[in-house]
């Protein structure tokens, strides 16, 4: 795998196939990037597990903190690493010691460890480095455009207005975290206007 450039199909397959995500280095502080990423993914129906030994006994958006990957009580599909690059190898080693191996090791923006990646891939685990699943999810579903973020994709086709229950390209429904009553109302009004035939003079 070329870790300098990932095909959209590779990222899409990961985000559509995983369900349980353990975020190593998750923070309960609501101004930290890990908090935003964790909350965003939890709102999109992923089974999120916050891993941080210093926060055991606390909760992150209702999910109890766990001290280590070995303490998780269910198989983990993806491990999202929110730690420095030089800590990635130890996390990969712990992941590879689990009874059921994860499908994916994902290293967040700014996190890259090629040696750790090679070790995970040798064990049959997919790897993504220096990317954020929150950003990739938003980019591939067009949610990132709703937020006024430049997706660096040129198109004359406008992204659809999000509505509750709308099916997205990653086969997940939009939720309250990705839409508002005003957006739903605007979409409904737009559809109602489009359905009314023009008046002939």
User: 114 and 185 share a domain?
Assistant: no
User: How many residues are recorded in the chain?
Assistant: 201
Number of domains in the chain: 2
Residue 55 to residues 26, 66, 77, 99: CA-CA distances in angstroms?
9, 8, 22, 25
User: 95 and 178 share a domain?
Assistant: no
CATH of the domain at 119: 3.40.50.720
pTM for this entry: 0.75
CA distance 21 to 102: 9
CA distance 68 to 51: 6
User: 97 and 126 share a domain?
Assistant: yes
User: 19 and 92 share a domain?
Assistant: yes
- Whether 174 maps to a domain, the answer reads yes
User: 116 and 161 share a domain?
Assistant: no
- Whether 129 maps to a domain, the answer reads yes
Contact of 95 with 113, CB cutoff 8 Å: no
CA distance 11 to 3: 12
Q: What is the pLDDT of residues 167-186, one digit of tens each?
A: 555 656 555 444 445 545 55
- Whether 142 maps to a domain, the answer reads no
Residue ranges making up the domain that contains 125: 8-136
User: 106 and 157 share a domain?
Assistant: no
- Whether 169 maps to a domain, the answer reads yes
pLDDT means over runs of 10, the chain (201 residues): 94 97 96 95 96 97 97 97 97 98 97 98 98 94 61 55 58 50 55 56 52
Q: Which pLDDT does position 176 carry in this prediction?
A: 43
User: 18 and 74 share a domain?
Assistant: yes
């Amino acid at each position: 795998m070329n870790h300098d450039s990932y095909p959209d199909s590779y990222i899409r397959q990961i985000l559509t196939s995983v369900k349980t995500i353990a975020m190593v280095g998750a923070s309960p502080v609501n101004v930290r990037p890990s908090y935003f990423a964790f909350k965003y993914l939890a709102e999109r129906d992923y089974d999120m597990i916050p891993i941080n030994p210093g926060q055991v006994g606390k909760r992150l958006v209702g999910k109890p903190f766990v001290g280590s990957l070995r303490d998780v009580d269910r198989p983990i599909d993806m491990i999202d690493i929110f730690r420095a690059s030089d800590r990635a190898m130890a996390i990969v080693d712990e992941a590879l010691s689990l009874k059921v191996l994860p499908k994916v090791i994902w290293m967040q923006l700014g996190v890259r460890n090629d040696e750790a990646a090679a070790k995970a891939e040798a064990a049959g685990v997919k790897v993504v480095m220096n990317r954020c699943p929150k950003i990739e999810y938003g980019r591939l579903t067009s949610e990132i455009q709703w937020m006024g973020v430049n997706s660096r994709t040129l198109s004359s086709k406008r992204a659809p207005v999000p509505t509750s229950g709308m099916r997205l390209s990653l086969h997940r429904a939009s939720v309250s975290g990705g839409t508002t009553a005003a957006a739903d109302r605007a979409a409904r009004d737009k559809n109602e206007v489009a359905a009314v035939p023009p008046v002939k003079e």
